[in-house]
């Protein structure tokens, strides 16, 4: 699993601890035609082209979408739920799936809750307002930035959920690290350039990059190669450990570094960065760029630092400030670990339940 699948799994499990819910899940197909108890694999996966070619993918999958809408409605009518809670982000379903489903749910008198895991863009935002958001009784988002972007009374904030971990052991190293998907908007080139300044002050420092890519997305593969070339051109090859691998939240406390850096240029989501929150939950200090959603939970000097996007000089200044002041570094790490508790699944479940009661 991953992403929204993990979110749905953790949320339903946590809701059991809030109240004795009876629930069932309609999910995307995962290579099996067998339904498990209370989980029905109905919705087909579709290719995401990340271009105008996506229009043709939507048209191609339309006949199958009609079938999946009515299969979903059939399961819903059998169980007669009080609420249907949809986890949504652009590209997850065929564009017509949710509007069709929501229309019939309204006819059946079933309340609709919609959690948005990422923002949408023109012209998709117009489509969503006309044919999706208007049907929802309540829309849930993960950050104040996303709520302000939508500017609708029915929008409420519910934190994204993470598993709160024990704080990792304080590292005596001067290492810094990056963790997450390797994509051009992540601004990793600015972290590499800033590290070139850091290593002049602390020659023993290393940059640890834990990045995963989807080989099907050419821009991610090209970006990985571009970053490697930059590292070589700056003569940092012996100072950078570049791992192309997906790591879990349980691995983060074991990373031999106290400082996580998120140098994003832009964000395709107004939601929180899960990678950032997972680092906070492991008690890591963080340096982030001033990007909506990404910087919402970072208070300057309290639990991290916020810098201007694309400024490797500012990045290096804040990283050096943490490396040179161990007392400040330890204080920020402790503050992050305490702050992360509000993102526990128990708290997320309680906040969802409050909204169900409207």
pLDDT 10s per residue in the chain (358 long)?
A: 446 777 888 898 899 888 777 888 888 765 555 556 677 777 876 555 555 556 777 788 889 999 999 999 999 999 999 999 999 987 778 888 999 999 999 999 999 999 998 877 767 778 888 889 999 999 999 988 889 889 999 999 998 888 767 778 899 999 999 999 898 999 999 999 999 999 999 999 999 999 988 777 788 899 999 999 999 999 999 999 999 988 888 899 999 999 999 999 987 665 678 889 899 999 999 999 999 888 888 999 999 999 999 999 999 999 999 999 999 999 999 999 988 888 889 999 999 999 998 7
- Are residues 50 and 128 part of one domain? yes
In a domain, 252, yes or no: yes
What pLDDT does residue 136 have?
A: 96
What is the distance of C-alpha 126 from the center of its chain? 23
- Are residues 327 and 182 part of one domain? yes
- Are residues 243 and 310 part of one domain? yes
- Are residues 325 and 253 part of one domain? yes
In a domain, 291, yes or no: yes
What pLDDT does residue 1 have?
A: 41
- Are residues 116 and 49 part of one domain? yes
In a domain, 151, yes or no: no
Give me the residues paired with residue 114 across strands: 86, 139
- C-alpha span between 239 and 195 (Å, rounded): 9
Whole-Å CA distances, 346 to 15, 89, 116, 341: 8, 23, 20, 10
In a domain, 162, yes or no: no
What pLDDT does residue 5 have?
A: 76
- Are residues 57 and 202 part of one domain? no
In a domain, 189, yes or no: yes
Instruction: Give the SS3 label for residue 316.
Output: helix
State the DSSP string of 149-214.
HH--TTEEE-PPPB---PPPPPP-S--EEEEEE--GGG-HHHHHHHHHHHHHH-TT--EEEEEE--
- Are residues 331 and 182 part of one domain? yes
- Are residues 318 and 220 part of one domain? yes
What pLDDT does residue 248 have?
A: 84
Which of 136, 151, 185 lies at the terminal end of a domain, its last residue?
Answer: 136
- Are residues 96 and 42 part of one domain? yes
Decide: 237 and 195 in contact? Cβ < 8 Å.
Answer: no
- Are residues 311 and 225 part of one domain? yes
Which of 110, 136, 162 lies at the terminal end of a domain, its last residue?
Answer: 136
In the chain, how many domains are there?
Answer: 2
CATH number at residue 309: 3.40.50.2000
In a domain, 203, yes or no: yes
- Are residues 190 and 89 part of one domain? no
Query: Which residue segment(s) compose the domain that 9 sits in?
Result: 4-136
In a domain, 271, yes or no: yes
Whole-Å CA distances, 214 to 218, 219, 249: 8, 9, 19
- The structure tokens listed for 111 are 């309340």
What pLDDT does residue 160 have?
A: 86
What pTM was computed for the model? Answer: 0.82
- C-alpha span between 246 and 89 (Å, rounded): 22
In a domain, 267, yes or no: yes
- Are residues 188 and 91 part of one domain? no
What pLDDT does residue 115 have?
A: 94
């Amino acid at each position: 699993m991953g992403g929204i699948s993990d979110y749905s799994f953790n949320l339903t499990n946590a809701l059991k601890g809030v109240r004795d819910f009876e629930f069932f899940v309609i999910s995307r197909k995962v290579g099996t035609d067998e339904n498990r108890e209370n989980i029905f694999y109905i919705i087909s996966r579709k290719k995401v082209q990340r271009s105008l070619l996506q229009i043709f993918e939507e048209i191609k999958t339309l006949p199958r979408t009609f079938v999946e809408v009515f299969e979903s409605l059939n399961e819903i009518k059998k169980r007669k739920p009080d609420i249907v809670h949809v986890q949504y982000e652009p590209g997850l379903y065929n564009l017509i799936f949710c509007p069709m489903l929501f229309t019939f749910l309204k006819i059946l008198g079933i309340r609709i809750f919609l959690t948005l895991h990422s923002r949408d863009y023109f012209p998709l935002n117009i489509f969503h307002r006309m044919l999706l958001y208007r049907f929802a009784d309540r829309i849930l988002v993960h950050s104040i930035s996303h709520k302000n972007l939508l500017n609708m009374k029915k929008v409420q904030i519910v934190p994204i959920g993470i598993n709160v971990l024990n704080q990792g052991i304080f590292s005596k190293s001067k290492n810094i690290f990056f963790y997450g998907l390797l994509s051009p908007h992540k601004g990793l080139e600015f972290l590499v350039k800033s590290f070139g300044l850091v290593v002049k002050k602390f020659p023993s420092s290393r940059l640890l990059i834990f990045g995963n890519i989807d080989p099907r997305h050419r821009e991610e593969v090209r970006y990985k190669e571009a970053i490697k070339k930059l590292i070589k051109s700056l003569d940092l090859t012996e100072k950078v450990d570049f791992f192309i691998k997906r790591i879990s939240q349980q691995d983060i406390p074991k990373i031999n570094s106290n400082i996580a850096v998120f140098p994003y240029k832009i964000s395709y989501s107004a939601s929180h960065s899960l990678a950032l929150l997972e680092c906070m939950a492991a008690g890591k200090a963080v340096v982030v760029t001033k990007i909506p959603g990404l910087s919402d939970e970072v208070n300057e000097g309290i639990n991290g630092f916020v810098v201007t996007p694309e400024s490797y000089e500012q990045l290096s200044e804040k990283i050096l400030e943490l490396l040179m002041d161990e007392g400040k570094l330890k204080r920020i790490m402790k503050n992050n670990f305490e702050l992360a508790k509000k993102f526990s699944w128990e708290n997320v479940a309680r906040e969802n339940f409050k909204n169900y009661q409207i």
